[in-house]
Structure 1
Amino acid sequence: MTIRKIAAVAASAAALTALTACSATDDSTDDSTENAATATTSASTDAAATAPVTADVLQQQVTIFFDPAAPVEAKAAVLEHGSERTAVLEQFNGVLAGYPLTGTVGEVTPVDDDTVTASTQIAGPHGGAPMPLTFEQVDGRWIIAGDSICPILEMGHLPCN
């Protein structure tokens, strides 16, 4: 009986060792699966962060800029240094009320990681003309670059300051 007890204890010990080994193997498999999932998620996030901006995204900013009913604060939010131009944006809303303009964003061309240019058709009651607009990515949002605003304001005989 003693030999049986020793054999049983040995068998139990072997079984526990096997279970622990399986458990350890399962844990490492779970860890590697989890690490792979984290790496994939991180890569996807990085890819999304560096994905090129679309014309649709830029169009939203242009639409707000040319909307005479858009509050000055909304216009300032879509412009680089917009908060410094609230007085001229107020005047621009007045110009747009009497002479509505629209902008339609076309082809987008990357300049660098956070700058793109977009061919934009500016149209008014008497026709239109293509105008390249530059957009900057600031704090994860695309905004119209300050230099691109000046020619548009000047069309309305407004200062660019």
Structure 2
Amino acid sequence: MTTRTLLAAAAGAAVALLPACSDSSSDTTTDSTATSATTTATTTTATAAAPVDAAVLQQPVDVFFDPAASTDDRVAVVEDGDEHRAELDQFTGVLAGYPLTGTVGEVTVVDDDTVTATTEVAGPHGGAPMPLQFSRTDDGRWVLDDDAACSILEMGRITCA
């Protein structure tokens, strides 16, 4: 059996907050307004920096690797899944003979609609962590990015179109 190594680059985003500066000669009203604006900016940034956690991302991963899931189920948890229907149908057959699991770990924010999660992909012969990218759909669901899905499919020697 040949072992294939998959190298994937994970994108990360850094959010930097600059502290608000105030002039000591400013009046109390100005200082209060500056503090309020800084607090609002910090709250907004914190919300944008944590749009999803590992538990939410685990749901599409569970469906993707579930040998009992249908191709339609997999299509629903992959970005542009309909475009990969044939490959996802082949993957259903692969999972019947070679069960895989995925466990989502650390999540890194790329932007408001994209995150990368270190995901332990394991099978009967062991496992390895993979950075998988997820995208938020227009209806607010998180799905595997089509490139992430293709990376997994290619490990099973299924070529993505």
Q: Structure 2 length as normaliser, TM-score?
A: 0.68
**For residue 122 of structure 1, what is the aligned residue in structure 2?**
121
Identical positions, percent? 63
Higher CA-based Rg: 1
**For residue 146 of structure 2, what is the aligned residue in structure 1?**
146
Taking the TM superposition and a 5 Å limit, the aligned residue runs for 1:8-157 are: 50=48, 51-139=50-138, 140-157=140-157
Q: Which moved more, 1:103-112 or 1:80-89?
A: 80-89
**For residue 158 of structure 2, what is the aligned residue in structure 1?**
158
Letter in 1 for 2:64: F
Root-mean-square deviation (Å): 1.6
Q: Which has the higher helix share?
A: 1
Q: Distance in 1 between matches of 2:101 and 2:141?
A: 21
| Structure with more relative contact order (C-alpha pairs < 8 Å, separation 6 or more) | 2
**For residue 28 of structure 1, what is the aligned residue in structure 2?**
none
Q: Which runs of 5+ in 1 are unaligned?
A: 1-45
Deviation, structure 1 residue 88: 1.1
Q: Which runs of 5+ in 2 are unaligned?
A: 1-43
Q: Distance in 2 between matches of 1:52 and 1:138?
A: 13
Residue-by-residue CA offset, 1:134-155 (whole Å, 9 max, x unaligned) = 0011111111001111221111
Q: Structure 1 length as normaliser, TM-score?
A: 0.68
Q: Distance in 1 between matches of 2:91 and 2:107?
A: 26
